[in-house]
Chain A
Amino acid sequence: MATEVKEIITKERMIALFEKHRKEIFKNDPEPVSRLRQRAFDSFAELGFPNNRMEEWRNTDLKEWLGKTYDYHFRPLPGMDALKIFRCNIPHLDTAIIGQINGWYVSKDVPLIRLGNGMILGSLAQAFKEYPEIIGLHYGKYTGIGKNGLTDLNTAFAQDGIFIYVPDNVHSPKPIQLINVIQHDENIFLQSRNLILLGKNARLSLVHCDDSYNHQASFSNIVTEVHLDEGAFLDHYKLQNLNNNSTLISNTEFQLEKDAELVSNFITLNGGMLRNNTSVLFNGPHGTANIYGLYLMDRKQHIDNHVYVDHASPDCTSVESFKGIMDESSTGVFNGHVFVRKDAQKTNATQSNRNILLTDTAKIYSKPFLEIYADDVKCGHGSTTGQLDTESMFYLMQRGIGPESARMLLMFAFANEIVGKISIPELRFRIEDMVKKRLQGELQICEQCVLHCSTPEHPMEFDIDMSKV
């Protein structure tokens, strides 16, 4: 039996599951992976799940979310209509779509796609079998072991996920859209693992969507390792639109070699409890990392963005900009940490976190940290929390724009600073539209939304009563 049903998640349960399903878990592993798995498991057995007595988890309590009962599958569930599920494509955007259901790669009989230019996309489990030498070189190298219990748990358990390999000097002709849909009739706990490798001077645009298909609760513990070799460029988007019963722990580890460049955009529109741990390591000089984030939360939603940038090499530039609008009883956490090592001279790092609180029950915890051990650096950070500017409101209202429209306009303008950074126009149009719908409270989870929204032919409009102007 490859499914364990309806139990709450505890350290003891996970240890028991691992022992019981050991054969299934290890079955595709090349030697280095199985060794890593065992080490990660031992480390998890020691660390356990994080709790809010830990500094890093002080404002995010997993207790309630771990305390629900979930099913756990050690094999993909059969009988899913993948095509029906992956209708969430982006209008007018020509992408190569790869899909995951509940963390498992959806194969359509081809577990690994090899493109003419040498790119490889597909199932990580299959890559374990077919490319053990690439896996051995990179898998688990960027997350390490013992950093946190959840990542170790993933390393111990993860059986599948997405594998993307872009060889040296190859420019991916079109963006790759990676869609992870959660769909199950019962609550589900899933752990998937992605490995994305860009060779020297390779270029890739990657749109990574997390969606849920119904209102069942889920707990996803996802780890993504990304390696950018010398001169590589990655344009990375993470779009999170899950139901209110979902918990998503997303650990993304980027390692940038010399001259590599990363642009990453985290757009969080919906979800129950979301935690994005993003870490960037500059492993060579002249790297650039721009990390943007936008979160729009309401009800009792919780968003926690942790961004750790390790300036281990000189002459690197990092920019962090996270903005959020918090409504109702939502809670937002931002914890940025820029770490400049002793010899990382000529570092340029900025950090910004701006929040708007719309109610007296919403909360913001902002912790922009700088830790600097080199002297020839330029580092700065800023954090603000407040409301919509009353003067701007007045200005708009004075010109005949109703308070509701004025509010929408200002909120949209606030969010657009992040959305405007999206360099793929079609994607930007769609996200602009989603943001607009989200702000108006119209955006629901996947079944009602994200499709056929606005298109370049039908640009978005604000409901401004022009007759009053």
Chain B
Amino acid sequence: MESDSNKIIDSFTQGDYKFGFITDIETDMAPKGLNEDIIRFISAKKNEPEFMLEFRLKAYRHWLTMKMPGWANLKIAPIDFQDIIYYAAPKKKKQLSGLDEVDPELLDTFNKLGISLEEQKKLSGVAVDAVMDSVSVKTTFSDTLSKQGIIFCSFSEAVQKHPDLVKQYMGTVVPYTDNFFATLNSAVFTDGSFCFIPKGVRCPVELSTYFRINAANTGQFERTLIIAEEGAYVSYMEGCTAPQRDKNQLHAAIVEIIALKDASVKYSTVQNWYPGNKKGEGGIFNFVTKRGICKGNNSKISWTQVETGSAITWKYPSCILLGDNSVGEFYSVAVTNNMQQADTGTKMQHLGKNTKSTIISKGISAGHGNNSYRGLVRIAKNAVNSRNYSQCDSLLLGNKCGAHTFPYIQVENKSSIVEHEATTSKISEDQLFYCQQRGIGMESAIGLIVNGYAKEVLKQLPMEFAVEAQKLLSISLEGSVG
């Protein structure tokens, strides 16, 4: 049985990346390197108003004073920030007016990824914003949405059409001084999604952004801003893939969420950037700052993430629970295999009264992967009667991987309750035995147990995504587990 399970684990760790193809498409690129001219170039390319350029330059000047943080439990090869192309866009011939005019190569790319822009629009009722190499390619459904007053468009478009909203909210949750990668993003971000749900509106469809890195030697820096006004609701999904290349590529994104009184935002991610090959060559460095603020009373922000890709993941989707009775949630499944490393978790800052947060984190380590949960739960003095429950479990497949838990808990008043628990173990031999005894093969049994282990998180995903996430887990298990 020992050798059997080794074989299975081997094939598990050697599952192939399905999205590694490259699209041959003409790309408009900035020269390599980073300086004020590049930032001015990006800003000019995007025809941005003056305040945006100022914001970028302020961030850039601050970035120059910062050092790359070394506290995460990650081994990161030095990154040469001058060896990156900070702007790459599929060349557009003219302004697009309909889907018919989108480059067929591009549509084909998204079709291959299973994101058929056309079909999705018609069948699944999901509004998609597709972003390729930092630039939004096409947003579907936006006309229907606009009838309800919902704005869902690319960030660049928002800057052009709704500069007041952008100016009012951008950088309020993640200030440009926040951290090394957020500051870098603030200086050079090229596009992303913008979403505004007006007062009292329940967004009728799932909003979705699909990110794709295509060009070589580029970094992807996108920025997403979601604003839910009083009583609004939105469910937002994000997916990402990248081609197979043997050089590391940098992805440093920012997501900001603002939930006003009684608003509710659900943000789901299936992250499947190229993880590098079995020797740890190539892959995406994924350094992402995601943060939401529950500004008004009774507001809610829920993060769900399935992290299967990237060579390095450094990501802490967080909630600032400012409004009284506000709720923060974080559900995460993180898989690391081969040479992948992940240091991920959340921060729950309880500031308002009666605030509640739940953290469920499931780590799966295989191959030489290292998976760390790092989280902060802080109950401030005035956050009376607050409640937190955290559960962080780790599953180890194979004896060369690592699973780590670094929770930080701070409680500053007497009426709040904070609970944290975590376990780390390998797949239970009893469970395997039980399954096999009932005629379930070893491979299926492991698949079954892994899926059951992650189920608590997967069930939080919107239906369309849950299917993709489950598929993703089984792709990782392909060849070994049915």
Contact = CB atoms under 8 A, between A and B. Distances in A.
Interface of A: 55, 342, 345, 355, 357-387
B411 A385 contact: yes
B402 A364 contact: no
17 contacts: A357-B414, A363-B411, A365-B409, A365-B410, A366-B409, A367-B408, A368-B422, A369-B407, A370-B394, A370-B405, A372-B394, A372-B424, A382-B420, A383-B407, A383-B420, A384-B417, A385-B409
Contacts of A379: 423-425
A20 B413 CA distance: 49
- Which 7 pairs show the lowest CB-CB distances between chains A and B? A375-B396, A386-B417, A366-B409, A380-B423, A385-B411, A379-B424, A357-B414
B424 A377 contact: yes
Given A363-B410, A363-B411, A380-B423, A385 B418 contact: yes
A360 B420 contact: no
Contacts, number: 119
A15 B72 CA distance: 34
A58 to B, nearest CB: 9
Nearest to A327: B414
The listed residue with most A CB atoms (<10 A of its CB), out of B401, B407, B411, B419, is B411
A93 to B, nearest CB: 37
Contacts of B400: 342
Contacts of B415: 360, 387
Nearest to B422: A381
A368 B417 CA distance: 17
Contacts of B413: 357, 360
Given A364-B412, A368-B407, A383-B420, 11 more contacts: A363-B410, A365-B410, A366-B420, A370-B405, A372-B396, A373-B401, A374-B396, A375-B397, A379-B424, A382-B419, A384-B417
Nearest to B409: A366
Contact of A367 (B407, B417, B424, B426): B407
A345 B394 CA distance: 16
B402 A367 contact: no
A112 to B, nearest CB: 45
Contacts of A383: 407, 409, 418-421
A376 B422 contact: no
Contacts of A386: 416-419
Interface string B371-404: 0000000000100100000000010111111111
Contacts of B381: 360-361
A380 B414 contact: no
B71 interface: yes
B424 A380 contact: yes
B418 A372 contact: no
B433 interface: no
A381 B73 CA distance: 19
Contacts of B399: 342, 345, 374-376
B406 interface: yes
A373 B372 CA distance: 11
Given A363-B411, A367-B408, A381 B421 contact: yes
A367 B390 CA distance: 13
A382 B421 contact: yes
Contacts of B397: 375
Nearest to B402: A373
Contacts of B384: 360
Contacts of A377: 396, 424-426
Contact of A355 (B396, B402, B404, B411): B411
Given A360-B381, A385-B411, A387-B415, A368 B426 contact: no
Nearest to B381: A360
A371 B420 contact: no
Contacts of A368: 405, 407, 420, 422
A367 B406 contact: yes
A355 B410 CA distance: 11
Nearest to A376: B426
A384 B419 contact: yes
Interface in B424-454: 424-426
Interface in B101-148: none
A113 B419 CA distance: 50
A142 to B, nearest CB: 25
A387 B417 CA distance: 7
A186 B405 CA distance: 45
A363 B408 contact: no
A377 B419 CA distance: 23
Given A357-B413, A375-B399, A387-B417, A380 B422 contact: yes
A372 B417 contact: no
Contacts of A365: 408-410
A377 B424 CA distance: 7
A360 B414 contact: yes
A370 B417 contact: no
A166 to B, nearest CB: 36
A433 to B, nearest CB: 27
Nearest to A339: B404
A378 B425 contact: yes
A300 to B, nearest CB: 15
Nearest to A373: B402
Nearest to A363: B412
B405 A362 contact: no
Nearest to A335: B408
B420 A372 contact: no
A373 B424 CA distance: 11
A387 B411 CA distance: 11
B415 to A, nearest CB: 7
B410 A384 contact: no
B13 to A, nearest CB: 13
